[in-house]
Structure 1
Amino acid sequence: MFGKDIGIDLGTANILVYVRGKGVVIREPAVVAVNVNTQKICAIGEEAREMIGRTPGTIRAIRPLQEGVIADFQITEDILKHFIKKVSRPRFGNPRVMICVPSGITTVEKRAVLEAASLAGAKEVYLNTEPIAAAIGCGLDISAPSGNMVVDIGGGTTDIAVISLGSEVASESLRIGGNHFEAAIIRH
């Protein structure tokens, strides 16, 4: 099934790609180096992060997701294309893709993620909230008739949810995350 079912955590700080049967196969910083003149991507992930502070003025490193949402649609689409292509085998057709999103994402933001993934080559795109994905990832039985509180602290958002019977009973998404915490600690 390599390349048919893919899970992507499109985070503000990091991007993780999971392939069914293989586990997490890509773990890269959510950084892209872009040529300012041509708007073409020069590097993605760790390679782009290593360029920070070492590039000429025509290349800048950016984070295409800010506070858990797409800040640059075209670059996000290009990143998704890059990672989907990297883990997919073209002869087996386009993959089904599950993407984690903050629980407080708006309808417009959901549409942007769905469209970017479709344009990137996904056959089918599904969205799942980060608290549900975190609960499944740590082995919680989310289908049980008991409540579990999950706190998912990402780079750009903190998602808090009470999960029972397979869905979020109550949730809150704060547009503050690990990057903000680090900056506050540094200032202190």
Structure 2
Amino acid sequence: MAFGFISNTRAGIDLGTANILVFVQGQGIVVNEPSVVARHNRDDAIVAVGAEARMMQGRTPGALSIIRPMRQGVIADYLTTEAMMRYFIGVVTGRFNLIRPEIMVTVPAGVT
């Protein structure tokens, strides 16, 4: 019998300029969301990620910024990209996980 909170998750993340894809072994692509983050200007707190953040684009008050942390296949905003990845890894692995997941992240071949 396998328990979800102790099983080892193996996943691959494709950080794209337009979308982030997360593939989980045995399940296929489980996340296909826009690479967009809504961040509060005052304290840099993440308000929304992915499709929810994209829906806020053009409709946000001045206190929020909509950010695309990837530009031309390269990480343009490291901290925001890290927060976005942490969010989607949490979506895939769940909140409580005793064993760390094995994650592989793709990068373009020409990135220096």
In 2, Cα distance between the equivalents of 1:29 and 1:3?
26
| 1:10 aligns with one of 8, 15, 25 | 15
Tell which structure's C-alpha radius of gyration is larger.
1
In 2, Cα distance between the equivalents of 1:72 and 1:12?
12
1:115-155 Cα distance to aligned partner (Å, 9 max, x none): xxxxxxxxxxxxxxxxxxxxxxxxxxxxxxxxxxxxxxxxx
The structure whose RCO (Cα within 8 Å, separation 6+) is larger is 2
Q: Name the structure where helix makes up a greater proportion of residues.
A: 1
In 2, Cα distance between the equivalents of 1:93 and 1:67?
34
**What SS does the corresponding residue of 2:32 show, helix, strand or coil?**
strand
**What SS does the corresponding residue of 2:97 show, helix, strand or coil?**
helix
**Structure 2 length-normalised TM:** 0.88
Q: In the alignment, does 2:47 pair up with 1:38?
A: no
**Structure 1 length-normalised TM:** 0.54
Aligned residues: 106
Segments ≥4 residues shifted beyond 4 Å: none
* Greater displacement, 45-54 / 87-96: 87-96
- Kindly provide the amino acid, as one letter, of the partner of residue 80 in structure 1: M
**What SS does the corresponding residue of 2:60 show, helix, strand or coil?**
coil
In 1, Cα distance between the equivalents of 2:51 and 2:36?
8
1:54-105 Cα distance to aligned partner (Å, 9 max, x none): 0101111110011111111111111111111111143341111111111101
Q: Structure 1: give runs of 5+ residues left out of the alignment.
A: 107-188
